[in-house]
Structure 1
Amino acid sequence: MTTPILRPAVRWLRAIPGNDDTARGNGVALQLLMIMIGVTLPLIWPYRIAALTNPLTQADWLDLATDTMVVLAAWIGVARIRRGFVQGATRLFIAAMLLSLVTTYLERGLISSMLDQTYVVLSIVLGGLILGRQALWRLYGTVILLFSAAASVDVMRFAARGAEHPMMGAVNVLPLALSYLAITLVLDQCVSTLRGSIRSAEQRGIRLAETNRVLEAEIAAHQKSREQLIHAQKVEAVGRLAGGVAHDFNNILSVIEGYAEAREDSDDPAVLRSALYGVAAAARRGAAISRKLLSFGRRDVARVEVIDLKRNLRDVKHVLRQLFSHSTTLGVEVSEDARYIRFDPEQLELMILNIAANARDAMQPDGSFDIRVTPASGGRVRMAFRDNGHGMPESVRREVFEPFFTTKPAHSGSGLGLAVVHDLVRGCDGSIAVESQEGYGTTIFIELPAVTMPAGSDLLAGPLVHTLLVEDEDVLREMWRKRLEAEGHLVVEAGSAATALRLASELAHNLNLVITDLRLGDNEPASWVEDLRVSLPDVPLLVVSSHFPPSIYQAHAVGILHKPCSPDMLVAEAGRLLDSSRRGALHGEDVATAAHRT
């Protein structure tokens, strides 16, 4: 988090003109490097001169001249970055460092110059990260030629002195060449991966932005041509599908952008790779939300289950951290006697993201957003979402849940985010209200029916979980088996439907859980759950697939997980299904009843 004292300096560093976000991000770090060199080198020389007992030698005057050249190049580079010429400043600075190296190495030779490799490393790293792969390899070749020329100077000096083995002057060329080759190869791979991922993300962003523009144009055309009755029909037809996609994909893009901004904090390849992993994880989360949004238009059945708000909000907080600015304060507090509700977990996350996105747009970057969960009267749970943004007047507050109502400029919002939240809450027998005052922030209150859990049911410790794992992809089955065994499962594997049915019959009295794909090649997906239920009528089933028939939502003690999914997601969903089964929260026909609620 940036302190108030440093914020002006940070804003100044980031105020680089241009439309290339990558170049502007590189410019921030490059400015810091050049300013540091431009300040420290002039301070070092007075100290060196004062410490020397003898007059400056020719080599000392040469060092002073080359350092002066590098300092001038650094300050000129800062000035060029302030005008938006990041690559030009990089080329000038690298050229100055290389010229300094050429002068020093030809004067002193390779052996006397090996102690300080700063300029060599900086030239290669800056060239690769900012100028690209071709520049990286050209710089590597230049450095090797420089080492060779400096080694030649050493060889000639040894020969002139009558040394018995003058070629010893070149003994360090090959080790240096191999060392810098390893560095160059690592940088080349990291730069290639990073630039490819950024290009893919930019292309996806362009396609999504174009989709948003098309959707917003359609919504605007409806607003101009329809009366209130037609407007209500549009809410049903467009608002639940097109509007939801347009609004919530902006939220997911914000999460991806938050991970991608890690590149501004460090040029370390490991940090950049970690940021790319975060982008990939956010993209998978976006795919899950997209799938759920599309299900609204297809009238898919909601997957209602008992949710532990304390655990759920802890997980959602990590997503919110990427949605907001790094300087935003996030707070989550859940009362122990208001932890459990019955809701669709994906819809709950979608609802929170919509509320948080509206709060983010109303706040300063260093604002605060708090979620508080407390018990309410009538056996309900109250969730309060508060921000300290600019608030809203009464005229806006009264219409905030109306579909297509927005105070944002044209092409900046669809006005459907809070309308979707309103529909989700009312569809689960809940209530929603908003309190706001201009200049004092906004609080959204949501009340939902509470679920009372038996005492001591939070953690259900027990012996090994006997699990039947059914998957026809060998590599995937092996990976899941190892992950499950690490979490305390005793796993029996099956690679086909026939094997799975045989094992289910033989182990019916020992199994605690079945994890199965829906499509196994030799089975009938539409009736696969019923086939397993013949031998395992009461054992919880976790079905993992990319497509599910509607009947599966009505099956007893069945959980679903969409592919693709990570081993962590598999373990988490299996634990949630086991918890629900052991607690006895949903039994028999109660599951089918809950699955029909929306």
Structure 2
Amino acid sequence: MHNKARDWLARVPVGEGEQRGARALQTLLLLIGVLVPLFWGLRLGIGQAPRGIEWTCLVAHTGMAVLAGISFVCVRLGRFRLGGALFLAGCLVLIPVIYALNGLRGPGPLQVIPVLPLALAGLLFGRRALWATLAFTWGCVLLGAALERIGGTGAGVIWEVAIGLMTGFLVVAVVLDSTLAGLQAHLLEVEERHRELEQARRSLKAEKEEREHTMDQLVHVQKVKAIGQLAGGVAHDFNNILGVILGYAQWRDRHAGMEPLREALAGVEAAARRGAAISRKLLNFSRQDVAHPEVFDLCEALGGLESMLRQLFDPRVRIELALPATNLPVRADRGQLELAVLNVASNARDAMPEGGRFRLAVEAVRDERGRSLVEILLSDTGEGMEEDVRRRIFEPFFTTKSQSSGTGLGLAVVGKVIHEAGGEILVDSTPGAGSCFRLRLPAPVALSDGASPRVLLVDDDDELRSMLARTLERGGCRVLGARDGREAWRVIVRGGVPDVLVTDYRMPGLDGLALIRRLRPLYPDLAMVLISDYLPEAAELARDLPPDVERLPKPISPDLLMQYVFMLTTSPEQACDEGEGG
């Protein structure tokens, strides 16, 4: 109750520096405005009518209570200084009236009235106002003394009382002045300290932002460094692929009939897919983009790194890949995960300057809680690490290499990528016996046999939309089609709200991003997938998308799209049940 009252008193529209003074003034005004009428009400209620000079007390106290109420309303309306000045002026008017009517030896309850202006003047308007109010109060005392002398009171008695009152008011003023001087000095120190702390806060914020910016830039430099190391191998692979494409293309002049042509076209397609994979890797490594996870086959992705790994390591290092033939899907940013694997491999290379063995293996495992995980095992026979080094390897800028050969960011990037994907890293290392990194990622939810999600497929390419729709329908989905965002909007307005919206990005009229922005406030739980190319605006697009919208790159795999649909329509409870049942 006490805290609620304090909060209510503090909720006044005044400046930040006046909050405490406004709360104190309101408390004083409430006490005067409530207790004074309560005192006289109780006294009159028990039959003690005022007599003689007590009528003056009643009138003065009533006036103070009324002034307190008016001033309180002013403070609540945000006129803090007006309310204080009004109450102070009322008290100053009452002082000469009291001394004029009652003399210097009026009843005790009235003698407190001159003290209130002293306190209010000092607290609200400063030390100069305090001494001016004291001078006015002394003048009122002298006025009362003069009136009493005219009334026939002895001079000795009058001056004894007058000097006593003036001395008492002076003591109060001196105490208040000393207190105010100390408070002002303390407030100046507090304000100075506050300015220093605010400056330090701004400096720390700027330093943090600069550090984060530097970290981002250095991570990008790390990517570019990886591209530089792999450029030779990529060029070699591209030349091989181009040779295959040219060779198959020249078959047209040496063969007649459809079957050789089919074989040639199949070879051209396979070579083109290899070229697209290498091109995609370059784009993934070089892009300066926010992380965007996707579901992909980990074995296929790591198998595509084999040629890069062989270019990375010294020929004296034996490279072993143990990748199962079955699909092991994971959900992560593919380019960043591939970069993380290459960063671990780069550290392994530096740990085996005289040659050795590097092994990359993938397997499905379960953790102690029974969750399905996919584990990437990266081991080497290098120098290994001491325990104190092993504990710090994922700290940014920590490195045991010379300044010219390492930035200390490679493994920091690995830790960031794996943890953003919801995984964990286990590291075993023994000095002289090599190191073993286990990168564990959660396995996506398997397809539910009995599920039949409703999918709204939006794409202006009729052939692509028809092909994707047939694939989804064969997988058990119910598919609605639309040529653009406006037609999709009309489908939904007519009652066709899907479980999953799959939309292309570039479409005439209402594009995919605009459609998502229009639908998200109306259907916050609708699962959404945006299909887009790796275009120059890909980074801006990723930042503009709501964080819960999935994004798939073109060319899109129909089977991968179906995996996304079922992953997005499987509830966490179903996922837990399937994990425990498996």
Structure 2 length normalisation: TM-score?
0.45
Q: Which has the larger radius of gyration?
A: 2
Structure 1 length normalisation: TM-score?
0.44
